[in-house]
A and B are shown apart, each in its own frame.
Chain A
C-alpha cells in the first residue's frame, strides 16, 4: 500500500517546492549573508576575527583556547579547528550562492532586471568568499555549480591565481548588476560600491596597480558619495552603523534568539560574541586577545597638531591615560594582565556597564555592533597605494591627506619618494585598521611578514617560518575526505 509508507517531511520545504517567490530568493540570500558572521567560521564572527588578526605583529591571543594560541604563535597544525571552520564556512556560502544563481530563473514573478540583480548579489557573496579563501589558503577548489552527483563532491584545488581571477570576475559581474543603494528596509546588503571596492582590493592584492587605481577611483565620484566620518571612532559604535563611510558592513542585531552557539536555527543570536570574548574580566569578558606594544608604540610615533595622541589611538585602544574610562569605570580599575600596555576598545561596547547585558536586557554574550568590513578610508589608502606603486607618489597625496586630516595630523611633507610614500601608507594602514583583519595580509602582500614579525614583541614570533605560515594549510578534514586534495607546500 503506497499511501501508508509515503510520509512527507512535515517540518521543512523541499527543493521541489521552494524557489517560487521573490521572498524565497531573498531568504536564500539571508542564509548566505548570515555565514559571514557565523561564530565559528564566519570571517567576521569571533573566531574569524581571531583567525584573521591573530597572526599579526599587532595582536596577541592568550593561552586559553589552544588552537587559537597555536595560530597566533605559529605552532598550528592542519587539524586546527578554527581554520577548518573558516574553510568550510566559505564553501557553505559558495554552495548557497550557487543555488541562488541556479534557481532564480524558476521564480516566474521576477522581472529580468530583478533576477539579474539577485544573481549579481549572489556573485558578490561568492566572490567575497573566494577572496577570503585566496588570502588565507592561496590555492583552493573552485566550485561554480552545486554538486549534482556524488562524483561532484570531490574537486581538486586550483592555483591561487585562478582563485583570484574567479573572485575578480564575480566582483566585476556583481558591480554590473547591483544597485548603488537600497531602500531603508534593505540597507546593509551588497551595493555596487561594495563590489567595486572589493574588485579594487583584489586587484591591489594581485598587484594590478593600474587596474586597482582605475577601479577604486570610481568610488570617489558620482554616483557614489562616500565620505569619511568626521570622527574616526564613530565607525565602531552602534549609534553610527551603515554610515557615509561604510562601503560594506556585516549586519549584527539583537533581534534573533539568545544563543550565539545554537547553530543555524531560530535560537541563534544574530550578533557576535567578539566583544564579550575580547572584553576584560572586570566586565564579564574573557580577555582572549590583546594588542601588542608594537601597535601601542606605533600609535605614539606621531602626535596630532594639538600635541595629543592620534584620535585613532583613543578609538582603538584603552590605556592608562588621565581620565581614561572604560565600561563606565576608571581605567585604573582594570588590570593589564599580559604585560602589554593597552587593551582593545575598538568594537567593544564600552559605554555599557559590561558585555553580558545586551540591548534587550537579556543576558547574552552577543554584540549588536556591526563589523565594518570595508570602509571608504580603506578605499582611499588602497587608491593611494595603487598610485604610489605605479611610481606616482605625488598623485597619492590627496587621498593620504584625507586620512591624516581626520586624524588631526600635520600635513605630509611634500615630495615624498615612492618608498617614503609607501612607508607612510603602511604606517597609516597599521593604525587605521588595527583589529580589523588587515595587518597580516598587508604584511604578506608587501613581503614584510618576516621582518615585521621578527621586529615585534609578539609571543611565538620565533616559531614563524617564512613561506610556511604565510598561508594556512588545507584543513586536515578536507585532506581526509577529498581524495583529490593536495596539501599546501611546507605543510
Chain B
C-alpha cells in the first residue's frame, strides 16, 4: 500500500471548537500522533486504512482514510466513566460516585430557540420536575426535585460557580458548562441545612488551552397564543344573559335588549393578544495557555409578550478565568445581569383580574376605545360585574421591574504538600430591583376612575457574602484512594426595602418630586446568617468498592438560641460490579454495572427571619380628635413561635448505573424514600384566636417515595447517527402527621371569591382535591322532590336544570361537610423523551415531555360557565339545559340560587398531557464553504417550541405555571394567568 501524508482537522461536535491533544492512531498499529493546538494533525498512512481517534470526554471514533484531507467531528461521550461530575465543594469521577445525581451538559441544552435555560431542561432529568412559572416573558420555571418534600418553600438550593443564588432563570444557555442536580442525601448533605429540597449546581464555561475560540449565536422567533378560551360573541352573550335573567325573575339588562342587533361585538382576546417577536444574541470567546484559561461572554435577549405591551429584556455579561503559578491557583467568575420586565396589571379592583382574566370575562357588547373619555378607552357600564377593559389596563398602568444582578466569586488555592490543598473562596452576590408602577389618570367606562397620575417606586436590595475555607486531601496508596474535605464557612444575607409613592403627578412627568398629592413611604430590612463546619471522605478500593461519608453542622440566625444548630450526616456505598474479576467475561457487553446505596439527613430553614420573637406591628392607625388627626397605632397582631427548629429530611436511596450493548444503551435507575420531620409550616389557627396570620411551627411529617429512570441509546445506521433519551419519574407523597393531629389545611382558591379546592391532612397526599361532588342535573321537579331526607328537600333552592350535588354525609343538606377526595394535583408519573439525529449535514432534535394522572381544577371555567354573574360566558353555555333540551350544562339563571357554580367536581379536569417541547432541524455547512469562509463551523436551524400539546385539559395550559403555595397546586387561577406561547424561530450558530 502506498503511504501518503494525510492531514486532518478535529473539532468538537458540541461547539465546533478545534480539539487539541486528540490521540490519532492507525488501527492495529502502534503508530500515532496527537492533534496540535489548532486541532490539526498530519500522519503518514495508506488510503483505505482506518484511523482511531481517542480523547478524554469524547467517544472513540474510527475513520476510514478516503482522502488526504480529513475533517473529523468528535462527539462527547455519554457514558464515559472518567467523566467528572460536580459535587459540592469539588468534583468526583463518575465511576466513584455513590450519590444520586442527574446532570446535563451545556452542549445538550444550547440554543433551543427558547429564552430560558431551565425551560430547556424540562423532561430531561429524571426525578427533576420543571414546571413553567407562567407564560409571561421572563417568568422562568419552578423546579422541584423528587417531589414536594415540604409544605413551605420547596425550591432547591441553587449554586452557580460555588455561590448561592435565588434563581438560575436569568442565565444564558451559552454560558452553561454543566448543570448537576444533587438528589439524595449522600450528594446533597454537604449543603446541610439548605439541601432538603435538592441542590442544583451550575458550572459556567471556562476556556481550554489553545487558540482563541469565538462563538456567535443568533436566534429570531415569533410567538403566538397556543390556546385561547372560547367565549361568546355579543349576540350570543345577550341571548344567554336574557335567558338567565328571565329564569332568575330579574329584569333583562339594558345592553342585552336586542341580541340580533349586537352582532359579534368586541373579541377581547383578539384585542390583547398579538404575534410577538423574540430574539436572542450571544457571543463567547475563550481560550488559554499553559498557565491560564479564560472565557468571556455576553448576550442579549429581547422577548415581547403575546399579551400586548408586556415584554422582557435581558443583558448578560460574564467573565471567568483561572491562573496557575507554582503551587498557587487563582480564579474568578464575574456575572452581571440586567433584566427589565414589563408586566401587566394584576387587577384594578373589581373582579376581572388581570388583562388575561378580563379579556375572557369582559362582555363583548362593550367598546374598546372612547376618544372622549379621559385616557381614551371605553369600558363597562350598567349593572354588570366590575370587569375592566383589558387593553385599558395594559395601556393605562405601566408596571415594570428592573433588576440588576452581580455575582462574583474569587478563589485562591495553595498546594501545601502534594495532595493537600487549602482553598479560600469568597463569594458576593447583589441584587438591586426597582419596581415601578405608574398609573395614568383615566376614566374607563363608569366603573373605573382614577383622577390623578400616581407613581409608586419600590427598591429592593439583597446582598449575600460568602466566605469558605476548605482543605482538600487526595491520596492514592496501593489500590486505595481517598479524597478528604474539611471546611468552615460563613454566609450572611442582608435585605432592604424602600417604597416611595406620590399621587397627582402632572401629565408626562414620572418622578416622585413632580407629584403634588399624598406621599407614602415604607422601608424595612432583614438580615440572616449561617455559620457551618463541614467534612467529607470519599474512599475507593480498586475501583470496585466505594464509600462516601459527609457531615455538616449549620448554625442559623433564623432560629431561637436553643434550636440554632443542626447536624446533617450522610453515608453512601457503591460497588462497581463490572470491575470485578468474575464479571470480566461480560464487560464487553456490559461495560458498566454499578450499585449504589445511601442514607442521610438534610435540613430546611426556608422560613422568614425573626419568627421566634413576638413583635409589635406598627402603623395600625386610627383617627382621633376634633381636628381628625392620625392616631398612631401599634400592637402585637400575631403569635410568635419561640421553639421552632430545623426541618429535617431523612433520605434513603438505592440506585444502579449500567451500560449495555457495548455501551450503546445506558441506564440509571434510583429508588428513594424521603421522610421529612418537623415540617416548617404556617399552620392555620382558628380566627377566634385573634391572630392576623398563622404561626410557623414544626407541624408534621411527610413521606415521599419514588422511582426514577434515565435511559439513553446511541447508535448509527449507515451515515445516520442517532441517540435517544428517555426519563421517567414517579413520586408518591403522603402526609404522616400534621399540626394538631386532626389538622386540615385547605387551599387552592380557584376564582376571585371562590371556596378552597384542596385539602392536606394526615393520611392523605399533599394538596389533594377535596370537593363537593356534582352528580348530574335535575331533569324535573320530581327528581328534586325525590332528593330528600326525612321529608325535607336536600336542595330546596333547586329548579329543573340545576346541578344535583351529592349529600355525602347524609345530613340532608349540601355543605362543606359533603366534600370528597376527588384526585391529586400530582401526576402518577411524568416523563420525557427525545431524539437527536444527524445525517450528513442535517441534524434533528425532537423533545417531548408530559405528565400522567394528575388533575387540574379549572378556575376560569368556573367563572365562564357560571351564567350567574354579569360578565361574559363560555361558548359551552350555548348548550345550557332547557326544559326542551336536556344537557349536562346547567340552566342559565342569574343569581344562581342552587349555586351551580360553587367549587365542586364539576370543574375538575384531567391534567395529563404530552407536549412536543422542541422540534429543531439544523444544517451545518460543509468543509469547502467552511474553509472558504475561514470559520470552524456554521450551523443554521429552524426550531419550534410547544408545537403541539395532546391533552383533554380545556384551560390555557396544563403546565399551569402557578407559583405560590403548595396548597394551590393544580389549581388553575385563570383570573390572573398568562397563557403559554407557541414559538417558531430560526437561528445561526457560528464558531470562528
Contact = CB atoms under 8 A, between A and B. Distances in A.
A401 interface: no
B624 A257 contact: no
A13 interface: yes
Given A64-B869, A153-B686, A478-B686, A75 B446 contact: no
Interface residues of A, number: 117
Contacts of B692: 92, 264
Contacts of B447: 281, 286
B841 interface: no
B742 interface: yes
Interface in B592-645: 609-610, 613-637, 639-640
A256 B684 contact: no
25 contacts: A4-B555, A7-B610, A9-B615, A10-B526, A11-B526, A15-B636, A27-B618, A34-B633, A66-B753, A77-B815, A92-B691, A146-B690, A184-B626, A185-B624, A186-B624, A251-B622, A258-B501, A259-B520, A264-B619, A266-B619, A337-B382, A354-B449, A360-B518, A362-B517, A463-B897
A402 B521 CA distance: 50
A253 B684 CA distance: 34
Contact of B688 (A67, A91, A189, A252): A91
Contact of A253 (B504, B615, B630, B895): B630
Given A15-B615, A75-B896, 7 more contacts: A34-B620, A91-B687, A147-B639, A251-B628, A255-B628, A368-B628, A477-B684
Size category of the B interface is: 35 or more
A338 B250 CA distance: 9
Contacts of A31: 617, 620, 622, 633-635, 637
Contact of B635 (A69, A99, A252, A361): A99
A28 interface: yes
Contact of B816 (A63, A187, A255, A476): A476
A242 B630 contact: no
A63 B504 contact: no
Given A264-B619, A338-B383, A360-B518, A30 B688 contact: no
A187 B351 contact: no
A479 interface: yes
Counting from the closest, the 10 A-B pairs by CB-CB distance are A95-B690, A30-B633, A281-B446, A363-B451, A31-B633, A482-B686, A88-B687, A284-B449, A31-B620, A253-B623
A134 interface: no
Interface stretch (B318-326, B401-409, B527-535, B782-790): B527-535
A274 interface: no
Contacts of A483: 740, 742
B219 interface: no
A265 B619 contact: yes
A8 B561 CA distance: 12
A12 B618 contact: yes
A31 B382 CA distance: 38
A446 interface: no
B732 interface: no
A241 B628 contact: yes
A147 B639 CA distance: 9
A451 interface: no
A424 interface: no
Contacts of A18: 616, 634, 636
Contacts of B870: 63-64
B525 interface: yes
A73 B899 CA distance: 12
Interface in A49-98: 62-67, 69-70, 73, 75, 77-79, 81, 84, 87-88, 91-96, 98
Interface in B672-714: 684-692, 697
A14 B616 contact: yes
Interface string A260-291: 01001111101000000000011010110000
A187 B624 contact: yes
A302 interface: no
B35 interface: no
A88 B684 CA distance: 13
B756 interface: yes
A77 B816 contact: yes
B28 to A, nearest CB: 66
B691 A95 contact: yes
A463 B634 CA distance: 44
A84 B742 CA distance: 21
B635 A28 contact: yes
B517 A459 contact: no
B846 interface: no
Interface string A131-167: 0000000001101001100101111000000000000
A152 B543 CA distance: 60
A27 B617 CA distance: 10
B525 A10 contact: yes
A186 B613 CA distance: 33
B381 interface: yes
A266 B522 contact: yes
B686 A63 contact: no
Interface in A351-395: 354, 356-357, 360-365, 368
Interface of A: 1-2, 4-15, 18, 24, 26-34, 37, 62-67, 69-70, 73, 75, 77-79, 81, 84, 87-88, 91-96, 98-99, 140-141, 143, 146-147, 150, 152-155, 184-189, 241-242, 251-253, 255-259, 261, 264-268, 270, 281-282, 284, 286-287, 337-339, 354, 356-357, 360-365, 368, 459-460, 463, 465, 475-483, 485, 491
Q: Most B CB atoms within 10 A — which of A64, A357, A465? A: A64
A480 B683 CA distance: 11
B296 to A, nearest CB: 37
A281 B383 CA distance: 9
B861 to A, nearest CB: 16
B1 interface: no
B522 A30 contact: no
Interface in B557-582: 557, 561, 564
B441 interface: yes
B902 A77 contact: yes
A155 B518 CA distance: 44
Interface in B500-559: 501, 503-504, 516-518, 520-522, 524-529, 531, 555-557
Contacts of A63: 383, 385, 868-870, 894-895
B520 A257 contact: yes
Contacts of B902: 77
User: Which among B454, B522, B526, B616 has the greatest number of chain A C-beta atoms within 10 A?
Assistant: B616
A13 B755 contact: no
Highest count of chain B CB atoms <10 Å: which of A31, A32, A242, A478: A31
A375 B797 CA distance: 40
Given A65-B351, A368-B628, A357 B688 contact: no
B613 A5 contact: no
Given A30-B622, A258-B518, A459-B250, A75 B617 contact: no
Nearest to A27: B634
B564 A153 contact: no
Nearest to A100: B635
Select the residue from B688, B742, B746 with max chain A CB neighbours within 10 A: B688
Nearest to B684: A481
B622 A270 contact: yes
Given A267-B522, A459-B250, A480-B684, A34 B740 contact: no
B227 interface: no
A310 B535 CA distance: 87
A79 B868 CA distance: 18
B475 interface: no
Contacts of B618: 12-13, 27
A242 to B, nearest CB: 7
A5 B449 contact: no
A424 B601 CA distance: 76
Given A475-B687, A482-B686, A15 B614 contact: yes
Interface string B836-877: 000000000000000000000000000000001110000000
